[in-house]
Copies of this chain bind each other. A is one copy, B any other.
Amino acid sequence: MNAELINIGEELLLGLTENTHAAYLGRKLAEIGLGLERQVLVGDSMDAIAGAVGESLARSDLVITTGGMGPTSDDKTVEAVAALLGLELRTDRDVERGNEKLFRRLGKPLPNLVARQARVPEGAQVLLNEHGTAPGLVLKASKPYRAKWLVILPGPPRELQPMFEKRVLPILEKEYPGRRILEVRVLRVADLGESLIQERVEEKIRAHFPGVGIAYSARPGEVDFRLVTENRTGLADQAARLAREILGNDVFGNGDEELEAVVIGLLRKAGRTAATAESCTGGALANRFTNTPGASDVFLQGWVTYCNESKSRELGVTARALEIHGAVSEQTAREMAEGARKRSGADYALSVTGIAGPDGGTEQKPVGTVFIGLASTGETRVYKECYPMDRWTFKWRVAQRALNLLRLELLSKKVP
């Protein structure tokens, strides 16, 4: 049973936008056993869209398109598909009403062009969009095509993803009963490279579970270690338990659990609170904490003390620390963490001071140098790291390390 994905959008071909749909939908389809066999990206013209959709419908069991559903003149997916399949367009009253309601809620007038997005091919099942104005569409395909269904989705990820998960997945699970279900277990590991993970676990997994597929996907400071079998034998689950035993607390979560959510959960369970004091990460750490719903129960406060004066004034960092040791130093990180903990009244405070770059490095403290402080009752520890990466990745990586240090502290494991 195979699926094809057609991404539509001139901006993707011109390289102005990254195509995130292929990875997202590839993963989601694999999970329900509808392997993605081919993904195609075409521009916005009627010919290109109809051509690609026709080819894919002839070749695959399921075809999904993304994009080209906006209100403006360059969005032609619906027209192209209707022309290809010989369908008339009709105005869908539910879409129309939903869009009127959305704009009322936003307190803004409904633009005339949005009316275009309520035009759908006859016979299409319409999926209302909770986060935008373009509906999704599900169309039954028939001879001469091989495909059974054509699913048409809007382009913005925040519209597409909830629509796919809530509305499309249940349809696919019902309409493609004979597919081979993959059993996928993902262990999420922080602060440990994929080759080190492989060295520690792969041989043992292969010896005990020879039929289980193993894969790694690495991002800065984070690796997803994946175990896969077909047809829900339970073996991937058993292999994951063995891997978890070997890796211990290096595993921070399962599936798609985020590190910040795990930390918030541990704080809540322990009845503890946290605060942050950031220099070089400039709010990226507090931003991670507060990405989790309910963070306000345990996250009290953060400071972004970007200039030296604010480090002294807000957190009580001493002139001695700043002048003798420097703003990027173990001593400053220590005083920032202790000041933040004292002033906020939180049980734990994390501090960060470093050199994000691209400028500001020295031979002693090159770009990427960072000190991370963790203050708790009666003790403050400071960790020195070096992450010579682009500015955005550096900020993310440092926040990752800081969150993981707090997680390990909460698990009462001192890290070296």
Q: A residues engaging B (CB < 8 A)?
A: 9-20, 22-28, 30, 35-44, 48, 52, 70-74, 105-107, 111-114, 131, 156, 158, 162, 184, 186, 193-196, 198-199, 202, 214-220, 224, 226, 276, 278, 281-287, 289-291, 293-296, 299-307, 309-310, 313-314, 343-345, 356-359, 366, 386, 388-393, 395
> Judging by beta carbons under 8 Å apart, are A290 and B306 in contact?
yes
Q: How far is the CA of A411 from the CA of B12 in the complex (A)?
A: 33
Given A40-B39, A285-B283, also A25-B15 (CB < 8 A):
yes
Residues of B within 8 A of A215 (CB): 10-11, 14, 16, 44, 72, 74
**Within the complex, which residue of B16, B35, B290, B296 is in contact with A13, where a contact is CB–CB below 8 Å?**
B35
**Within the complex, which residue of B13, B18, B27, B344 is in contact with A36, where a contact is CB–CB below 8 Å?**
B13
Residues of B within 8 A of A40 (CB): 38-41
| Total copies of this chain within the assembly | 2
Given contacts A13-B39, A282-B289, A302-B304, 17 further A-B contacts (CB under 8 A): A10-B226, A13-B30, A15-B25, A16-B224, A19-B19, A39-B40, A40-B41, A70-B218, A106-B388, A111-B195, A282-B299, A283-B302, A301-B304, A301-B310, A303-B303, A304-B304, A314-B314
Q: How far is the CA of A149 from the CA of B193 in the complex (A)?
A: 32
A36 vs chain B, min Cβ distance (A)? 5
Residues of B within 8 A of A28 (CB): 15
27 example contacts (A-B, Cβ-Cβ < 8 A) are as follows A11-B215, A11-B226, A12-B39, A14-B30, A15-B27, A18-B18, A38-B41, A40-B41, A44-B215, A71-B194, A72-B194, A74-B214, A111-B196, A113-B198, A113-B199, A114-B195, A131-B389, A276-B304, A282-B299, A282-B302, A287-B287, A301-B304, A301-B305, A301-B310, A302-B306, A303-B304, A310-B344
Residues of B within 8 A of A214 (CB): 73-74
Q: How far is the CA of A199 from the CA of B113 in the complex (A)?
A: 8
Q: How far is the CA of A301 from the CA of B299 in the complex (A)?
A: 19
Q: How far is the CA of A315 from the CA of B39 in the complex (A)?
A: 52
Residue of B nearest to A30 (CB): B14
Interface centre among A19, A20, A199, A289 (most CB of B within 10 A): A19
Q: How far is the CA of A14 from the CA of B25 in the complex (A)?
A: 8
> Judging by beta carbons under 8 Å apart, are B9 and A217 in contact?
yes
**Within the complex, which residue of B43, B345, B391 is in contact with A291, where a contact is CB–CB below 8 Å?**
B391
Residue of B nearest to A36 (CB): B13
A121 vs chain B, min Cβ distance (A)? 22
Residues of B within 8 A of A219 (CB): 156
Residues of B within 8 A of A19 (CB): 19, 22-23
**Within the complex, which residue of B38, B217, B289, B395 is in contact with A17, where a contact is CB–CB below 8 Å?**
B217
A278 vs chain B, min Cβ distance (A)? 8
Residues of B within 8 A of A294 (CB): 359
> Judging by beta carbons under 8 Å apart, are B282 and A295 in contact?
yes
Q: How far is the CA of A194 from the CA of B73 in the complex (A)?
A: 10
Q: How far is the CA of A18 from the CA of B19 in the complex (A)?
A: 8
> Judging by beta carbons under 8 Å apart, are B386 and A105 in contact?
yes
> Judging by beta carbons under 8 Å apart, are B12 and A22 in contact?
yes
Residue of B nearest to A31 (CB): B15
Residues of B within 8 A of A300 (CB): 306-307, 309-310
Residues of B within 8 A of A344 (CB): 310
**Within the complex, which residue of B24, B38, B42, B389 is in contact with A48, where a contact is CB–CB below 8 Å?**
B38
A156 vs chain B, min Cβ distance (A)? 7
What 5 A-B pairs come out closest when comparing CB atoms?
Answer: A282-B290, A15-B27, A283-B286, A15-B26, A302-B304
Interface centre among A22, A72, A202, A296 (most CB of B within 10 A): A72
